[in-house]
Copies of this chain bind each other. A is one copy, B any other.
Amino acid sequence: MAKEKKLVEAITSMEEDFAQWYTDVVKKAELVDYSSVKGCMIIKPAGYAIWENIQKELDKRFKETGVENVYMPIFIPESLLEQEKDHVEGFAPEVAWVTHGGLNELQERLCVRPTSETLFCDFYKNLIQSYRDLPKVYNQWCSVVRWEKETRPFLRTREFLWQEGHTVHATAEDAEARTVQMLNLYANFCEEVLAIPVVRGQKTEKEKFAGAEATYTIEALMHDGKALQSGTSHNFGDGFAKAFGIQYTDKDNKLHYAYQTSWGMTTRIIGALIMVHGDDSGLVLPPRIAPVQAMVIPIQQKKDGVLDKANEVVSRLSNVCRIKIDDSDKTPGWKFSEQEMRGIPVRIELGPKDIENNKCVVVRRDTREKIEVSLDDIETKVPEILEAIQKDMFERAKAHRDSHIWDAHNYEEFKDVAENKPGFIRAMWCGDEACENKIKEDLSVTSRCMPFEDQERISEVCACCGKPAHKLVYWGKAY
């Protein structure tokens, strides 16, 4: 019993200290470990398996829209990084510099890619000659490095894994359409697979990507009411094309600059999974992304026939879900704690009495509901329960999100909400960066996005300065 208590006690409760709860969960669910390289994490099997499922599902959706995968070099020469002015200003302060190769000093410093726009542009400028070469819709899966000062597993690390798509188009309209298409792809992926509801919208000038004309974003709300930017899609117009000389000849043999986009999703999204769905017993994974969807835990497994029956259940269910058995010599209670900590969507308890009654007990991780299922029906019932969990998790997350959106019509209301009510703040904004800066400095709140779908005019004036305002903005404290 002492040992059983240990696993649960190891976690700080969410109410007590959300940040510590998060740190406890990533460690105790064995998602990551700290490494000897400050700010870089080790992604352990349980964490990496989630990323593999994210990759598999996103990659499939990418390819359905015509994306092709490539691989670009890990290094960017300093002169290449400097070729687009806004871009280098955004990234140069936070890159890692390679100065020596083997025993020799390099003639030119190389940075470890923080993002690969410049490499793709350098590549595209030779690849693209004619309108026949367009569009190019390339993506790569890789790691990138940004020299952050404060780091937290998944949320902000000096190295992280991601995909970065980089596309080239003949027209501004095509580029805009691809930018929106990918943002919607991310949003649908989050909602359908990760059960995370998101707000889709546009970043303000202040918050957009270095070098972009427009940045679109999906913003999710964590359990503690803070926002997490979960995926972004950038329209570069022809800015990079002009900086790098990416031109094509059209059907009439006239020369044009090309239009570009980029879009990315990172291992950060695993942080969102944890903070949207987790509870005081640990991780709670939506079935569609869970590496293991069901864990069979035999009760009194030394009794005749129990393990045989449990293995038969595993074998029958392995065609309809990702299933494992825990037949170790730990106590059932300890196994329950572990399965809960790891966020496995259901456990299937099976003991001698259950076998006598030709049934098993399916326990939902999300609600802890215990469901008796006849052993004759497991192949249909277990997938049904998993689907119900998926749906309910999304609905619960959405209800939580929707009940944490607050309208602010003036600065007093804004301040009150920012200080007392965790969540998104909806407020009108005049468009002046000075107001964004004031709100950030006074209240540690940033503009998250100008939503696409929710552009209701809740007042006629900016909630900060009182001047006329036409834009509704979602604001929030953010990770």
Contact = CB atoms under 8 A, between A and B. Distances in A.
A80 B36 CA distance: 9
Contacts of A97: 98-101
A338 to B, nearest CB: 14
A297 interface: no
B74 A143 contact: yes
A31 to B, nearest CB: 11
Nearest to A95: B102
B35 A119 contact: yes
A161 interface: yes
Interface in A37-77: 37, 40-45, 48-49, 51-52, 68-77
Contact of A112 (B69, B74, B93, B127): B74
B71 A42 contact: yes
Q: Select the residue from A51, A70, A71 with max chain B CB neighbours within 10 A.
A: A71
Q: How many copies does the complex hold?
A: 2
A73 B37 contact: yes
Nearest to A148: B102
Nearest to A329: B132
Contacts of A127: 33
Interface string A123-159: 1001100000000001000110101000000000011
A269 interface: no
A126 B40 CA distance: 17
Given A112-B98, A123-B33, A127-B33, A41 B73 contact: yes
A207 interface: no
B74 A45 contact: no
Q: Select the residue from A73, A96, A102 with max chain B CB neighbours within 10 A.
A: A73
Interface in A99-130: 99-103, 110, 112, 119, 122-123, 126-127
A94 interface: yes
B99 A103 contact: no
Interface in A258-279: none
B70 A42 contact: yes
A69 B45 contact: yes
Contacts of A112: 74, 98, 112
A72 B42 contact: yes
A289 to B, nearest CB: 16
A145 B75 CA distance: 10
Interface residues of A, number: 51
Nearest to A30: B127
A96 B100 contact: yes
Q: Select the residue from A49, A80, A97 with max chain B CB neighbours within 10 A.
A: A97
A72 to B, nearest CB: 6
A138 B45 contact: yes
Given A93-B102, A102-B147, A122 B35 contact: yes
A36 B68 CA distance: 22
Contacts of A94: 102
A405 to B, nearest CB: 36
A235 to B, nearest CB: 23
Contacts of A43: 70-71
A432 B145 CA distance: 46
A307 B68 CA distance: 25
Contacts of A70: 42-45, 48
A73 B138 contact: no
Contacts of A145: 74
A280 to B, nearest CB: 26
A161 B71 contact: yes
Lowest 4 CB-CB distances: which A-B pairs, in order?
Answer: A40-B73, A45-B68, A101-B147, A43-B71
29 contacts: A33-B126, A33-B127, A35-B72, A35-B122, A35-B123, A36-B77, A36-B119, A37-B73, A37-B75, A37-B76, A37-B110, A40-B75, A42-B72, A43-B70, A44-B70, A45-B69, A48-B68, A48-B69, A48-B71, A49-B68, A49-B69, A51-B71, A71-B143, A74-B145, A93-B102, A96-B101, A96-B102, A101-B147, A102-B147
Interface of A: 33, 35-37, 40-45, 48-49, 51-52, 68-77, 80, 93-103, 110, 112, 119, 122-123, 126-127, 138, 142-143, 145, 147, 158-159, 161
Given A40-B73, A52-B69, A71-B143, 12 more contacts: A35-B73, A35-B122, A37-B76, A41-B73, A45-B70, A49-B68, A49-B69, A74-B112, A96-B101, A99-B99, A101-B158, A102-B147
